[in-house]
Amino acid sequence: MTARAPHTSTAPAAPETPVERLRLLLRLRDAYRAGQPLPAEALDLVAESVNLLETGAEPGEALGLIRGPGEEHPARTVARERARAWLAVALKATPGGSAWARAKGLAVALGRFEAGTWPRWRALEEPPARATEQQAALFRAMKAATRAGVALPASARALLRLAER
């Protein structure tokens, strides 16, 4: 077996906050699953974490996912962000001549989806191929919200605020 030179990364330093670190780890997972190049800064974070694990650090501590007092769990924060992002996609896919008309239409569609479609699709990993763009986005928003234990905004006004962000 030949010795290898230590790897020195040119990637930016690992993110500081638990939420940023979790986002980076999720990017790593998603790139790996998609067969895409793995982000160097995420690999550096994993290597640094393994070094800390070898010294006896707890996994959450090693990965830098320990919350401060009163801080929301990073997974909940990221899931809420993803749910809102998917609602924004659903809003864009909703017909209407104005942002307000689309928001009202999405509020109605979301209510129908939660009451009728979601109970049937909840156990699926991905929306069915027959799903419309709006339904697929609502499915992904519901998945993220369910994982985080948060409710989706249901009023047209709250949905309109998403469009304004």
The pTM of the full predicted model, rounded to 2 decimals, is 0.77
- pLDDT digits 0-9 by tens, 27-82: 999 999 999 999 999 999 999 999 999 999 999 899 988 888 888 888 888 998 99
Quote the CA–CA distance of 105 and 93 in Å, as a whole number.
10
- pLDDT digits 0-9 by tens, 102-160: 999 999 999 999 999 999 999 999 999 999 999 999 999 999 999 888 889 989 999 98
What end-to-end distance do the CA atoms of the chain give, in Å?
A: 55
Q: Which of 165, 159, 141 is nearest to 94 (CA)?
A: 159
Quote the CA–CA distance of 11 and 1 in Å, as a whole number.
28
Torsion of CA 41, 37, 126, 97, to 10 degrees: 80
| Per-residue tokens: 122 | 């909840």
Q: Which of 95, 97, 82, 96 is nearest to 137 (CA)?
A: 82
